[in-house]
Amino acid sequence: MSVPLTLLGLLEREPSHGYDLKRDYDAYFGRGKPLRYSQVYATLGRLTRDGKATPGPVEQGAGPERRRYIITDAGVADVEEWLSEPVQPEPDLQSELFAKVVLALILDRPAGRYLDIQRAAHLQRMRELTELKSHGDPLDVLLADHALYRLEADLRWIDHTAARLEPLAKAVRR
Amino acid sequence: MTILQAKDVVKSFGQTPALRGASMTVRQGEILAVMGPSGSGKSTLLHCLAGILVPDEGEIWFDGQRLDTTTDEHRSELRRDRFGFVFQTGQLVPELTAEENAALPLLLGGARRAPAIAEARAWFGRLGLDGLEQRRSGELSGGQAQRLALARGLVTGPQVLFADEPTGSLDSVSGEIVMNLLTAAVREQGTTVVLVTHDARVAAYADREIIVRDGTVSTLTGVQP
């Protein structure tokens, strides 16, 4: 999963201190693997260097956190592009899929459209694997079946999520 | 080349709308999966395309002919002579033998018995049903019954095979056998297939898919990661 793009997505919501970003990242996407502060600030440094975010003015008397980071137009474009691309449909890489859906909901972007794009990508991969099965050796077939069942599980999750976007959007925008 | 087309099709059952302006095309020789959640209207769309149901509004075109405005008699002829059908459960006639069941569309179309049975028997070997010709449907396993239903669906050499959840009542292995046989047979014959399924592993046998949602069609194919 792309930590920089996820943090950038959170910044699109509103200018934020590094502390806020870490707290929200851990709450939405951490799942027992919280970000280190050093990772947050190193990422913000790189995003600033690359012109995707910019530090705001130093704030007086606001504790140790002195500035908020603001997303740039280039950063918004990156988030937009990232959300509109399907994740490579391979088993075990799906946390990015989860992150994209949650971010799309938080940002009031078209999560349903994103899920449609991902569904099409998954089905295309399943077609390729099914084709491979028709002339593969038994071990290829076994492996393809494993991948097919994993992708099918994702697809069921995609369909289930697509059917519940409205209540989910309300829940994540609390 | 387009062989089947739905244009802005609306169909309601009483006060309940099933299709609310569904548009789609089926290309000659392709296997098209029609997917969507339960109650989305995908089976209604199949029934309209196959001339089983007549839309309230919109148009259905098959091979250059308007299907929704033609006579019931002509639609019946098309269904018998140019279309084949496979449903979730075989819908076999229990009193008939397996070969009589497979030959049924030919017999109903007025073919003489001997050539109709011979034509039906030719499908038994291709679909792994050798030796089962004299069995009654109650003496067949679920997978065998679906393969027999497939033989019945293909025996007339239809231009379009309509399959509505053809593996829906089967376990995964039997379902896979049916789908492998179905795709091999239709590819060989150049038959167009409209395949309604909610099962992504079944849809993966198709060339492309459309999604029916709330009575309309959304297409999103060819998007590559």
| Residue of B37, B200, B224 lying closest to A155 (CB–CB) | B200
Looking at the domain covering A1-84, what would its CATH class be?
A: mainly alpha
ipTM score of complex: 0.80
B225 pLDDT higher than 50: no
What chain A residue is nearest to B40 in terms of C-alpha separation?
Answer: A163
Higher pLDDT, B116 or A59: B116
pLDDT tens sequence across B136-183: 988 999 999 999 999 999 999 999 999 999 998 888 888 999 999 999
Question: What average pLDDT does this structure show over B181-194?
Answer: 94
Q: How far is A39 from chain B (nearest CA, A)?
A: 28
Question: What average pLDDT does this structure show over A98-120?
Answer: 90
Lowest mean pLDDT among A90-99, A119-128, B117-126: A90-99
Domain B1-82+159-171+189-220 has CATH 2.120.10.30: no
pLDDT tens sequence across B62-95: 999 999 999 999 999 999 989 999 998 868 999 9
Mutate to test the interface with B, among A94, A124, A145, A161 (most CBs of B within 10 A): A124
The amino acid at residue A58 is: V
> Cβ separation of A148 and B204 shorter than 8 Å?
yes
Mean pLDDT over all residues of chain B? Answer: 92
| Residue of B200, B220, B225 lying closest to A116 (CB–CB) | B220
Mutate to test the interface with B, among A97, A127, A160, A164 (most CBs of B within 10 A): A127
User: What span, in angstroms and rounded, lies between the C-alpha atoms of A86 and B190?
Assistant: 33
Question: In this structure, is the dihedral angle defined by the CA atoms of residues A21, A27, A30 and A36, taken in order, positive or negative?
Answer: positive
Residue A104's Cβ-count burial label (10 Å; 0-12, 13-18, 19+) is: buried
> Cβ separation of A163 and B37 shorter than 8 Å?
yes
Question: What average pLDDT does this structure show over A10-20?
Answer: 93
**Domain boundaries, given as residue ranges, for chain B:** 1-82+159-171+189-220, 89-157
What is the structure's pLDDT at B99? 96
